[in-house]
Amino acid sequence: MRAVAGPGRWVWGLSGLVTAAALAIPGARLITSPGTDWDTISAAPQPVVTRTETVPQPVTSLVVQSNGGQVQVVSARVDRVHVTETISYNQGTSPPVVTQSVSGGRLSLSDPACTHADCNVDFDVTVPADVTVTASTGGGQVVVSGTAGANLASSGGPVQATLIGGPLTVNTGGGPLAVRGVSGPLRAETDGGSLIAQDIAAATATITTGGGPAAVTFVTAPQKVLVSTDGGPATLAVPGGPYNLTANSEGGPQSVRIATDPTALPSITIISGGGSLRVEPSGGAG
């Protein structure tokens, strides 16, 4: 049942005030006790509810918070935002409440009931291409593609961000990060996870991995780049040049194959902290 909490705000319950609703049990949760015989263990099914809705109000920005579930946001040629929730919860309990609100063009989705309960909500959202996205999970995967900008945090889960038309800020908290086709300023931190960034057209980029490997390729000449891996191998490919380059592998193997000039305005700082370091030309535009 949906309870109206104010203009543009809803609390989604189980019953059918959504575009489509389906009940399924595709997965199972293992229930064990001390002394469990793992050879004879059985699995109890975990109820799963899937719901889909089209948001009637215009949306210019999206905020999604999932406490452990996955978040996927993709752009399409649509006029309204479409939301699909996949909700799993303990058998014998009620489905957790999922909240939605729209204010000033900002759509907010969250699962506050799962902060302290054993439940999980995955959000799959389709948005117009001019929407910006802020998404966070408590360890679940985040996938965002084709939006006007994004601010993402996964608390250890993997993150994929592709074809972002504006600024992108990411912190994976240890999870791997894959980025492709970013046009706006890029700030990426993995806290030990691996990082692969391809087809980057950002004028500025700050990339830190906290020990994980980093491989970054620009298709247009950047103005200012910082790459720091704290021991992980670092590879950077840029077109054009010359660049005002500071490269420090702190004893690790080092290779620089681009044109450099200490008076050049475009600047690159790359520090590997002992890992291998390589700076090379890319096939992009200078």
Contact 282, 219 (CB under 8 A): yes
Both tokens assigned to 31: 């229930």
Chain-wide mean pLDDT for the chain?
Answer: 86
d(C-alpha 94, C-alpha 112), whole Å: 14
Q: Is the pLDDT of residue 14 over 90?
A: no
pLDDT tens by residue, 29-83: 332 334 434 343 344 557 899 999 999 999 999 999 999 899 999 999 999 999 9
Q: What is the pLDDT of residue 44?
A: 53
Q: Is the pLDDT of residue 251 over 80?
A: yes
d(C-alpha 99, C-alpha 110), whole Å: 5
d(C-alpha 225, C-alpha 246), whole Å: 10
Q: Spell out the residues 6+ positions from residue 105 whose beta carbon is closer than 8 angstroms to its own.
A: 57, 58, 59, 60, 61
pLDDT band at 285 (very low <50, low <70, confident <90, very high): confident
260 closest CA partner among 275, 273, 252, 270: 270
Q: What is the pLDDT of residue 92?
A: 72
pLDDT tens by residue, 69-127: 999 999 999 999 999 999 998 877 788 889 999 999 999 999 998 988 888 999 999 99
Residue with tokens 């999980």: 120
Contact 103, 120 (CB under 8 A): no
Contact 149, 132 (CB under 8 A): yes
Q: What is the pLDDT of residue 32?
A: 31
Tell me the mean pLDDT in the region 212-235: 98
pLDDT tens by residue, 162-181: 999 999 999 999 999 999 99
d(C-alpha 56, C-alpha 51), whole Å: 16
Residue with tokens 């959202």: 125
Q: What is the pLDDT of residue 68?
A: 81
3-state secondary structure of 132: strand
**What pTM was computed for the model?**
0.85
Both tokens assigned to 86: 């996949």
